[in-house]
Amino acid sequence: MKTLPLAPPATRSATRHHRRCECDRDTLRTPWKGQMCQILHTRDQEAARALLDDFLLENEAEIARVIRRAQRIAHLDYRDKDTALSYFGQALMKMVDTRWRAKTGAGTSQVFNYSRNLPVILEQETRYFVREDRRRGLLDGTAGVPGDSAHDRKAKALARSRQLFQREHSRTPADEELVEFHNARMRATRKDPARQSVLATAEDLRSLTAVPLQDPDLLTEPGLVSEDTPDLGLPERQQRLEAVIAECERKDEERQFARRRAMKRQPVQMATVARIYLADHAQGDLATRQEIIETLGVTERASQREVGSHLKEIMVLLRSAFWSYNRS
């Protein structure tokens, strides 16, 4: 019996992957995959930086297209190339250092191993960082108000408390009533409201305005009424939430890999739902299912059901990530 020769397996060197590559074989030749694999597996910082520089230089034209697309969708000034490039670099370093490197031990995360469209992922991350800076007022010059971060967090929670009071009592609350109602709600719904800087006083109901540094009479400015108290627990919560989003990305990759035929519609990504749901968590607000649907702009019934299904799964992941909060 004559033995038929087998086709040689795809070699790692042909696609410039690292010798310890763990990438899914169907993704070996996708754009940017081989070079990023080399960078992620290189533990020497100087060598990794050199590989990263080579990657940026060799893919300059493709990266420029990604940046232009992100500029257009994020409504950035098309003439300001440096700002858009800096956001792309920020997104790239975030993905390399936080999302794609293994959390423990050598290797890369499963999110990267099954990724097959890195340009699209990096474009989405670039737009995410633009969105976050715009929300914080860093793109339109409104971030210079003293105490803006704590005050914004508190003001948003106060606005929700005012709505709830009006709904329950059918009237507008007085300042003292609103402060009492709000603080009672925060103590009932927050683990440590004082540490999270969400408890309010009557002075917090006054609006903030920017204080010009040249003004000699700074004490008369209402902008100095509120003291910016940092949310000390925010970095730890942010780290846990990023881990949840990374797990959502991994599940998205698994679903895409397990899908046997192309869908007639664009599937809703769990990681996208998680980012929208948690976008305002620092201000103590979580998006509702309807708000997520409106943000995504999905109209098909199947897509809306998918949003609800993803949201339930995200809640399970969040409970698991924050289980220690309930025990302490």
Total length of the chain: 328
Q: Which residues contact 275 (CB under 8 A, 6 or more apart)?
A: 128, 245
Confidence (pLDDT) at 295? 82
Tens of each residue's pLDDT in the chain, 328 residues:
444 444 444 444 445 788 888 888 888 889 999 999 999 888 888 888 889 889 989 999 999 999 998 888 888 887 888 888 889 988 898 888 878 887 666 678 888 888 888 998 899 889 888 887 777 666 655 554 444 455 567 777 888 888 888 888 888 888 889 999 999 988 888 877 776 778 888 877 765 555 454 554 544 444 444 444 555 667 788 888 888 999 999 998 888 888 777 777 788 899 999 998 888 777 667 888 888 888 888 888 888 889 999 999 999 898 888 877 655 4
| Predicted pLDDT of residue 227 | 47
- What distance in Å separates the CA atoms of residue 92 and residue 49, rounded to the nearest whole number? 12
Whether the full predicted model's pTM is greater than 0.95, yes or no, is no
Whether the CB-CB separation of 114 and 254 falls below 8 Å is answered with yes
How many angstroms separate the Cα of 7 from the Cα of each of 11, 13, 23?
12, 17, 20
Give the span between the Cα atoms of 140 and 76, in whole angstroms: 11
Q: Cα separation of 117 and 122, whole Å?
A: 9
List CB contacts of 248: < 8 A, sequence separation 6 or more.
269, 270, 271, 273, 274, 310, 314, 317
Q: What is the pLDDT of residue 320?
A: 86
End-to-end Cα distance, the chain: 70
Cα–Cα distance measured from residue 252 to residue 255, given in angstroms and rounded to the nearest whole number? 5
Helix runs in 13-147, H state only: 33-41, 45-58, 60-74, 81-94, 110-113, 118-135
Q: d(Cα 104, Cα 107) in Å, to the nearest integer?
A: 9
Count of Cβ atoms closer than 10 Å to residue 94 Cβ: 17
The percent helix, strand, coil of the chain (3-state, each to 5) is 60, 0, 40
What confidence score (pLDDT) does residue 62 get? 92
Q: Residue 205 in contact with residue 173, Cβ under 8 Å?
A: no
Q: Which residues pair with 108 in a beta bridge?
A: 101
130-29-271-250 Cα dihedral, nearest 10 degrees: -140
At a CB cut-off of 8 Å and minimum separation 6, what does 62 contact?
A: 31, 32, 119
Strand partners, 101: 108
DSSP code for 4: P
108 phi, psi to nearest 5 deg = -125, 165
Tokens standing for 187? 């103590």
- What's the confidence (pLDDT) of residue 232? 60
**For residues 17 and 164, what is the distance between their CA atoms, to the nearest angstrom?**
56
